[in-house]
Amino acid sequence: MPDDAESRPGSATSLVRSVIGLYLRRLDGWIASADLIALLEDLGVPAALGRTAIARVKQKNLLVSERNSGAAGYRLGEDAAAMLRAGDRRIFAPRRMAAGDSWCLLSFSIPEHDRALRHQLRRRLRWIGCGTVSPALWICPAFLAGEVEEILDELALREHSTVFIATDARGAASLRDSVATWWDLPRIAALHEGFIAESSGLLSTSPTDGADAFSRYVRGIDSWRPIPYLDPGLGVELLPAHWAGDHSEQLFARLGARLAEPALAHVLARVAPN
């Protein structure tokens, strides 16, 4: 499961993950301990709290300790690069259904003695944006089918499940009304509204310097990061009028356009050899 699911946006641990995801690959996969702590301090995270958060991230194998030219530091874990690439697609290139696009449905029947696996499956399906038709029948846009099948493989639940790709969904209620019961749309809208409030503040004035641009950008990304996982990208015709996600996505684009380059410049200056 992506580490994003296990940290609250704005927490020290979440900010460490955001910094790693945004910049460590740009730094050839390694950063000195002192530089990472300094970047976290630029985000308002005290050094002691930063070290604790880094230790938590290391426990998830996102980072491993490694010395480089005598300096203590951290390198991306063995499987971290692939996870971050998958996260990039979700975060920076979210997809949206068009009218007539297919659906993916997952039906499963897991024995009671494996109920812990059943709980894990439901938790992970919810995290990638699936909706619930019934406790054992879940639905999502068909472009998420690969992620659904990846979860089944990782949990070794193929023999207890069947994946369907369907082009139509018919019931007593309209598809739009059904979607409103399959997903918690008010909760998803609230996530977008929270990001709108956060990013509007970050964009209301110009940064005072590179450190300020870095802090605003990383905090904006950290606030946005869970949304493209929990919002499945339903078609606009299936969503309530004046859907908050439209404005949210526009502000996310503005955040990157205004702050990504000065934030990166600050990081490169911070980690440059003295």
**pLDDT at residue 3 greater than cutoff 60:** no
| pLDDT tens string 83-97 | 899 889 999 988 999
Q: Per-residue DSSP letters for 66-130?
A: EEETTEEEEEE-TTHHHHHHHHHHHHHS-----TT--EEEEEE---GGGHHHHHHHHHHHHHTT-
Polymer length of the chain: 274
Q: What is the CA radius of gyration of the chain?
A: 20
| pLDDT tens string 166-211 | 998 887 889 999 999 999 999 999 999 999 999 999 999 999 999 9
| pLDDT tens string 128-176 | 999 999 999 999 999 999 999 999 999 999 999 999 999 988 878 899 9
Q: Per-residue DSSP letters for 172-204?
A: SS-HHHHHHHHS-HHHHHHHHHHHHHHHHHHTS
* Strand residue runs (E) in the chain: 30-32, 63-68, 71-76, 103-108, 131-134, 137-141, 161-166
Of 138, 150, 151, give the one whose Cα is nearest residue 104.
Answer: 138
> What is the reported pLDDT for 2?
46
What is the CA angle 85-232-141, rounded to 5?
100
Q: How confident is the model at residue 272 (pLDDT cuts 50, 70, 90)?
A: confident
> What is the reported pLDDT for 1?
41
pTM beyond 0.85: the answer is yes
Check: CB of residue 274 under 8 Å from CB of residue 218. Answer: no
Mean pLDDT of the chain, nearest integer: 93
